[in-house]
C-alpha cells in the first residue's frame, strides 16, 4: 500500500474550509448525529470532494435495530 498521498486533518465540517486539493476519500465517524445542521456538514464535505469521492460515515443509532451491536453484548 502506497501512503505517499495520504493526508489527514481535523476540521469543523459545519464551517466551510479550504483544502489545497479535492479529496477522493472522506471518513467521518460518529459526527453527523452531533452536528447542529447535518445537511450543512454534508454540503461542505461535498464542496471539498472530487467526483466519485467515497464517503465513509458512521452514526450511533437505536441499539435494537442494529445487526452489529448485539454481537458486542
Q: Which 3 state secondary structure label does DSSP give 65?
A: helix
Confirm whether 7 is domain-assigned.
no
Nearest to 69 by CA among 58, 57, 56: 58
User: For position 5, what pLDDT does the model report?
Assistant: 75
Q: What is the mean pLDDT of the chain?
A: 81
Confirm whether 67 is domain-assigned.
yes
Cα–Cα distance, 20 to 60 (Å, whole number): 31
User: For position 54, what pLDDT does the model report?
Assistant: 94
Confirm whether 14 is domain-assigned.
no
Of 61 and 67, the structure prediction assigns the larger pLDDT to 61
Please give the tally of structural domains in the chain: 1
34: domain range?
A: 23-72
Cα–Cα distance, 51 to 42 (Å, whole number): 15
Confirm whether 50 is domain-assigned.
yes
Confirm whether 66 is domain-assigned.
yes
Cα–Cα distance, 65 to 21 (Å, whole number): 38
Confirm whether 32 is domain-assigned.
yes
Of 64 and 53, the structure prediction assigns the larger pLDDT to 53
User: For position 66, what pLDDT does the model report?
Assistant: 65
Of 68 and 19, the structure prediction assigns the larger pLDDT to 19
Amino acid at each position: 500500500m502506497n501512503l505517499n498521498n495520504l493526508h489527514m486533518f481535523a476540521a469543523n465540517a459545519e464551517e466551510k474550509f479550504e483544502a489545497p486539493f479535492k479529496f477522493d476519500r472522506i471518513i467521518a465517524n460518529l459526527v453527523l448525529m452531533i452536528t447542529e445542521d447535518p445537511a450543512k456538514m454534508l454540503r461542505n464535505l461535498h464542496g471539498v470532494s472530487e467526483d466519485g469521492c467515497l464517503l465513509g460515515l458512521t452514526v450511533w443509532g437505536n441499539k435494537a435495530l442494529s445487526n452489529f451491536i448485539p454481537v458486542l453484548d
